[in-house]
């Protein structure tokens, strides 16, 4: 019995040494000089975390304390945050995992640290299950964010470490966490200027959501690395020689594109990996004094474009007008001597640090000696935070609706528009005159009837461009309308319009409720929640509010409002038929090839948005009224479903993709190649005669000696489809063939 006791003691001693080693590594990673008080605060936070997590382990089996130390190290080393953030990172989970309270943290570390930790603490309340818990948690966390940007910066460090250690999680949790990351946290990192964090979060997300595509691109990048390195050396040689003839101090390096950005380009342009030419960018980093930054960058630009021909439409000047996340750089795309387009980025060391490390670096250049530590605010981010606070202060009953509004603030590129007085306003690309009106003031937006664009009258829906000068026209008789939601894109405009419509709808619904009450009274039926829900289900509306509103607006004709028949379940035959049809369909699918859930076969349907086939990575999504829908993990809707409705995701897997399948599944192919006589006949021979594959449709279009086409085929699974693609390429070596989404 003694041996296990010794091994436990040895393990504990080994882990104790490893914990101290990691803690010392954290201290070495801190970029600024620590005062005695700061050292004491960090040590106190470490001791509190060590005590709170002493009996806890991660899914990997490691001591839990490794996680907060790692999060603190990311905050210090990779983002450059200061002491308060490091303290918060170390104790970000103690309130959830132990008896420590926010009051304890406040007494030990002060009000500011307590507020940040409160914002970081996971919320355990049970929310309305029609919404995503993650969405509601995110919303509550952002309420604290509007006061202190460190909440979200530390949260991003936490998410990055969780993504780096996702291998130990279950497949279901991998999909859920990776999708949330891609849906919200990566765009958030981008908005805060954290390029490295954003890129790593994106790559790690698709590593789990699109495993095959990730492996394939990664392998191809590694295979071509030596060739790319040779090309980069050859490309930068003449630039380097010319720059050395000037007084400029510089560094030139090649930066590879992320796997995520390559995959995104392949999907967006419908091209294979081999046709993605800009797999890297050349970066010129100048050591310039503040007063010479702009002129030095343009001097370097002039040298590059003297050597290589630029593409005028691909020049971007973010030095004169920086992005709202603080990004400053000159970008141009030039033609190399090998006939390939190459992106060149020109910036100073200060600009490069801000581009890589975001607002922590930005704050450093504002003369703070301790990262973002003075008040947690940063100049450029204030405007963005103000817009987020604006959305937060307009409460919505639907957390997912809020999440959509918030995401709009993250993903759009920007345009710069002027007021009649010459004031500059930043808006998302695609914003309309009405968005601009709401940006000025809620009342201006609500009363807007049109706009003058550069002294020319334009409608509310007119999309604005860079440099436009806009004057808003208003009328006291105007009020927000539902159709406005079709063309506004800013979170502020959407929130204000929805709020007005919601209040207006509520007033009309109250009148509809009174009409319905009288109907119930006339038919001598009790007006209660149970009977109202029967009407909601019968008329297929979302809620009692929608029912009352529809009655008031006469969207439900009075002759169809047969309360007695509906309440007493005298449902029409057509409805019974549709229900039995769904049941029969799901019963048939039970005999199929997918195991849904951990132990039992559950009925399911294949999602028509992505048409999964045997061999695809899949997951189940529990729908309302239609059973389980099976989606591919790289389905266009997957990220949104898994991040917003994580609790409705269910594990799903093909029973055995190696066994010959009698069933056939729909898949799509895109083909691009040199046009030739008989190309359709040749393809038909390969597909139908040689391989015995049935085609649902084939479309071929020729232009200027080339052709593009799509084919919908019925295959056994991914191996069968890969074999078909291989056969087509064997017969037509110059043709590009790849899988695409195809409608049922």
**What positions carry a catalytic annotation?**
96-97
Helix runs in 98-224, H state only: 102-109, 111-120, 133-145, 150-164, 171-180, 186-191, 195-209, 211-223
Beta strands in 240-288 (DSSP E): 250-256, 280-286
C-beta separation of 739 from 711 below 8 A: no
How far is 722 from 368, CA to CA, in rounded Å?
Answer: 57
Tokens of 150: 């460190």
- DSSP-derived secondary structure for 400-450: HHHHHHHHHHHH--EEEEE-TT--EEEEETT-BHHHHHHHH-HHHHHTEEE
How far is 26 from 22, CA to CA, in rounded Å?
Answer: 6
How far is 665 from 616, CA to CA, in rounded Å?
Answer: 12
**What distances in angstroms separate CA 734 from CA 311, 703, 731, 739, one per listed residue?**
28, 17, 9, 17
Tokens of 311: 């593409």
Nearest to 418 by CA among 461, 473, 379, 471: 471
Residue 100 has φ and ψ, to the nearest 5°, of -65, 140
- Classified as helix, coil or strand, 83 is helix
- Classified as helix, coil or strand, 92 is coil
Give the helix/strand (H/E) hosting 331.
strand 330-335
C-beta separation of 193 from 325 below 8 A: yes
What residues have CB less than 8 Å from 615, skipping those under 6 apart? Answer: 654, 657, 717, 718, 719
Taken as a whole, the chain contains a residue count of 744
Nearest to 288 by CA among 364, 349, 353: 349
C-beta separation of 475 from 449 below 8 A: yes
Give the chain's end-to-end CA distance (angstroms, integer). Answer: 65
Tokens of 45: 């936070």
């Amino acid at each position: 019995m003694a041996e296990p006791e010794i091994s436990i003691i040895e393990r504990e001693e080994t882990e104790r040494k490893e914990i101290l080693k990691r803690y010392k590594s954290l201290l070495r990673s801190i970029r600024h000089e620590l005062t005695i008080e700061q050292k004491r605060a960090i040590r106190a936070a470490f001791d509190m975390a060590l005590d709170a997590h002493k009996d806890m382990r991660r899914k990997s089996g490691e001591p839990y304390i490794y996680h907060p130390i790692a999060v603190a190290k990311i905050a210090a080393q990779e983002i450059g945050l200061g002491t308060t953030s490091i303290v918060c990172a170390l104790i970000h989970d103690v309130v959830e995992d132990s008896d420590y309270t926010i009051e304890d943290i406040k007494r030990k570390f002060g009000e500011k640290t307590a507020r940040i930790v409160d914002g970081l603490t996971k919320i355990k309340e049970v929310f309305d299950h029609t919404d995503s818990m993650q969405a509601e948690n995110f919303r509550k966390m952002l309420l604290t964010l509007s006061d202190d940007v460190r909440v979200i910066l530390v949260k991003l460090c936490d998410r990055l470490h969780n993504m780096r250690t996702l291998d130990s999680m279950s497949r279901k949790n991998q999909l859920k966490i990776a999708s949330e990351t891609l849906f919200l946290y990566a765009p958030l990192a981008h908005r805060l200027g954290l390029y490295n964090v954003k890129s790593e979060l994106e790559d790690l997300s698709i590593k789990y959501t699109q495993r095959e595509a990730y492996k394939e691109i990664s392998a191809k990048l590694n295979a071509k690395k030596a060739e790319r390195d040779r090309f980069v050396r050859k490309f930068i040689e003449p630039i380097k020689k010319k720059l050395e003839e000037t007084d400029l101090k510089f560094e030139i390096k090649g930066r590879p594109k992320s796997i995520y950005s390559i995959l995104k380009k392949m999907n967006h342009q419908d091209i294979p990996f081999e046709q993605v030419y800009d797999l890297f960018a050349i970066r010129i980093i100048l050591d310039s004094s503040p007063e010479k930054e702009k002129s030095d960058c343009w001097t370097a630009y002039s040298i590059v474009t003297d050597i290589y021909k630029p593409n005028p439409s691909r020049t971007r000047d973010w030095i004169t007008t920086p992005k709202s996340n603080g990004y400053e750089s000159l970008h141009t795309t030039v033609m190399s001597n090998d006939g390939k387009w190459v992106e060149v980025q020109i910036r100073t060391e200060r600009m490069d640090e801000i581009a890589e490390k975001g607002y922590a670096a930005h704050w450093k250049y504002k003369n703070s000696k301790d990262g973002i530590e003075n008040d947690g605010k940063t100049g450029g981010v204030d405007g963005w935070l103000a817009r987020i606070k604006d959305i937060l202060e307009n409460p919505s009953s639907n957390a997912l609706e809020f999440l959509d509004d918030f995401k709009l603030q993250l993903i759009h590129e920007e345009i710069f528009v002027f007021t009649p007085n010459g004031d500059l306003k930043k808006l998302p690309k695609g914003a309309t005159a009405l968005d601009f009106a709401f940006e000025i003031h809620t009342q201006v937006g609500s009363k807007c009837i049109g706009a003058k664009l550069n002294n020319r009258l334009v409608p509310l829906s007119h999309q604005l461009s860079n440099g436009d000068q806009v004057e808003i026209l208003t009328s006291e008789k105007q009020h927000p309308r539902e159709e406005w939601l079709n063309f506004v894109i800013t979170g502020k405009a959407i929130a204000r319009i929805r709020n007005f419509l919601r209040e207006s709808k509520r007033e009309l619904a109250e009148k509809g409720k009174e009409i319905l009450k009288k109907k119930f009274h006339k038919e001598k039926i009790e007006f209660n929640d149970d009977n109202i829900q029967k009407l909601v289900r019968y008329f297929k509306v979302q809620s009692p509010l929608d029912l009352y509103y529809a009655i008031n607006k006469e969207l439900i004709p009075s002759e169809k409002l047969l309360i007695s028949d509906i309440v007493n379940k005298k449902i029409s035959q057509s409805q019974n038929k549709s229900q039995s049809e769904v049941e029969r369909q799901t019963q048939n699918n039970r005999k199929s090839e997918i195991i849904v859930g951990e132990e039992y076969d559950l009925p399911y349907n294949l999602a028509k948005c992505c048409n999964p086939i045997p061999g695809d990575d899949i997951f189940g999504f529990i729908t309302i009224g239609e059973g389980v829908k099976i989606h591919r993990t790289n389905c266009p809707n997957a990220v949104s479903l898994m991040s917003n409705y994580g609790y409705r995701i269910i594990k799903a897997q093909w029973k055995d993709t190696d066994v010959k399948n009698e069933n056939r599944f729909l898949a799509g192919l895109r083909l691009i190649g040199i046009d030739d006589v008989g190309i359709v006949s040749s393809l038909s021979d390969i597909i139908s005669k040689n391989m015995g594959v049935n085609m649902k449709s084939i479309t071929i279009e020729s232009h200027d000696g080339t052709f593009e086409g799509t084919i919908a085929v019925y295959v056994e699974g991914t191996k069968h489809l890969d074999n078909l693609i291989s056969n087509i390429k064997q017969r037509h070596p110059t043709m590009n063939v790849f899988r695409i989404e195809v409608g049922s």
